Amino acid sequence: MPASPPTDPAALFEAARGGNQAALARLLSLVERGGPLSRAVAGLAYTTPGDAYTVGVTGAPGAGKSTLTDRLVTLARRVGLDGGDRVAVLAVDPSSPYSGGAILGDRVRMPSHALDNGVYIRSMATRGHLGGLAVAVPDAVRVLSSVGMPVVLVETVGVGQQEVEVAAATDTTIVVVNPGWGDAIQANKAGLLEIADVFVINKADRPGARETRRDLELMLDLTELGPWRPPIVETVASTGDGVEELWATVRQHRDHQIAHGSLAVQRRRRMEREFRQILLARLSEQVDQVLNAGGVDDISQAMLDGEVDPYVAADRVLDRVLPPGPVPPVDSPD
Ligand SMILES: Nc1nc2c(ncn2[C@@H]2O[C@H](COP(=O)(O)OP(=O)(O)O)[C@@H](O)[C@H]2O)c(=O)[nH]1
Ligand SMILES: [Mg+2]
């Protein structure tokens, strides 16, 4: 039996950096749970960020994301980005019936890596985390990076705005679609087209891959693209066909970003968005606290009595939640 992990966040980080997977699991559970300890963990991860390259795999349920991720883990181990590397997988699935204890569930689903200590697989739910997925997942990814994981794969279900935002928050985002009429168009509707760096037509052993490729190309033609046009790779995840090409494409995308200086720019932009999410979550929490504590009952009563309209009432509440201070006006021209 390995020694049980410490409980202090700094000690947990030290143990996790030394390869103690129980300590790493505890760190991620703390992040998942939210609360003061979660903030301590997030703070330590942020100030010692590590250097992970993150790859997102997203798409509709059943598209083959997990099967594909499993294959990519093998390649990340064997060839990595600059040679074989350790790899972490974060499976984000809010519909997942299990939460913190899901490691076993995923290991069962990825038996090919069950005995490999260089692979860390974890699924994540975010009950109770202030800010939800959009804040918890980047924190978890930073924890994995901070303990020295060079490659982090993030599997998300690309359904719903929040999930799509989470999926977009990776260095290379792979969008998985399937052959068949309309699948690419569904992906477009879900907002997945905009966030794709690489498209995968998985289940290319089924009819319709050519039509799906044509749909994707057409939609890309109609999109304003930067210097990188997302390549389309066909895979059969269940046999491994095309997966090496997919990994090579991921590496090309990384090299492209480094060559164009866009990796650092994108990361900064993501950090700004994340900061905004944290601010929103904090404000929302403050508003709830004020409302629950009855601190603005006079204002809401005035509104209910028809003396002020709800917008004026909201302004008055905001003046209490956010007292006017030296913050520059939000409507300043940019
Ligand atoms: N025919 C075929 N089936 C596949 C392929 N990739 C995955 N599957 C199957 O599709 C189902 C869903 O796969 P899974 O990876 O769990 O999808 P996820 O929900 O996107 O993670 C499973 O039964 C897989 O075995 C493929 O390339 N071809
Ligand atoms: Mg899956």
The predicted-structure confidence for 25-44, as pLDDT tens digits, reads as follows: 999 999 988 888 999 999 99
Beta partners for residue 232, in sequence order: 199
Question: Which atom of ligand 1 is the closest one to the Cα of 204?
Answer: 27
Q: For ligand 1, say whether the CB of 237 is within 6 Å of any of its atoms.
A: yes
d(CA 52, CA 169): 13
Going by pLDDT thresholds of 50, 70 and 90, the confidence category of residue 114 is low
Q: Quick check: 103 pLDDT over 50?
A: no
Whether the CB-CB separation of 254 and 220 falls below 8 Å is answered with no
Q: For ligand 1, say whether the CB of 157 is within 6 Å of any of its atoms.
A: no
Q: Quick check: 327 pLDDT over 80?
A: no
Residue type, position 51, single letter: D
Rounded to an integer, the average pLDDT of 8-29 is 93
d(CA 246, CA 174): 9
> In degrees rounded to 5, what are phi and psi of residue 29?
-65, -40
Going by pLDDT thresholds of 50, 70 and 90, the confidence category of residue 323 is confident
Closest CA to 139 of 92, 80, 98: 92
Q: Could you count the other beta carbons within 10 Å of the beta carbon of residue 36?
A: 8
End-to-end CA distance of the chain: 58
Beta partners for residue 83, in sequence order: 80
> In degrees rounded to 5, what are phi and psi of residue 301?
-65, -45
Q: Could you count the other beta carbons within 10 Å of the beta carbon of residue 113?
A: 19
Q: For ligand 1, say whether the CB of 18 is within 6 Å of any of its atoms.
A: no
Q: How many Cα atoms within 13 Å fall on the side-chain side of residue 104?
A: 3
Q: Quick check: 290 pLDDT over 90?
A: no
Q: Quick check: 293 pLDDT over 80?
A: yes
Rounded to an integer, the average pLDDT of 100-106 is 39
User: Ligand 1: distance of its center to the CA of 110 in Å?
Assistant: 13
Question: How many degrees, rounded to 5, is the angle at CA 192 between CA 188 and CA 194?
Answer: 90
> In degrees rounded to 5, what are phi and psi of residue 204?
-70, -5
Q: Quick check: 313 pLDDT over 70?
A: yes
Q: Helix crossing, 133-146 with 36-47: angle to 10°?
A: 50
Residue type, position 194, single letter: E
d(CA 57, CA 200): 10
pTM, two decimal places: 0.88
If one residue of 177, 238, 241, 246 were mutated to test the ligand 1 pocket, choosing by the most ligand atoms within 8 A of its CB, it would be 238
Torsion of CA 44, 45, 49, 52, to 10 degrees: 160
pLDDT of residue 150: 95
Q: Quick check: 207 pLDDT over 80?
A: yes
d(CA 277, CA 204): 38
If one residue of 57, 65, 66, 67 were mutated to test the ligand 1 pocket, choosing by the most ligand atoms within 8 A of its CB, it would be 67
Q: Quick check: 322 pLDDT over 80?
A: no
Nearest CA residue ID for atom 25, ligand 1: 238
Number of residues that make up the chain = 334
pLDDT of residue 100: 35
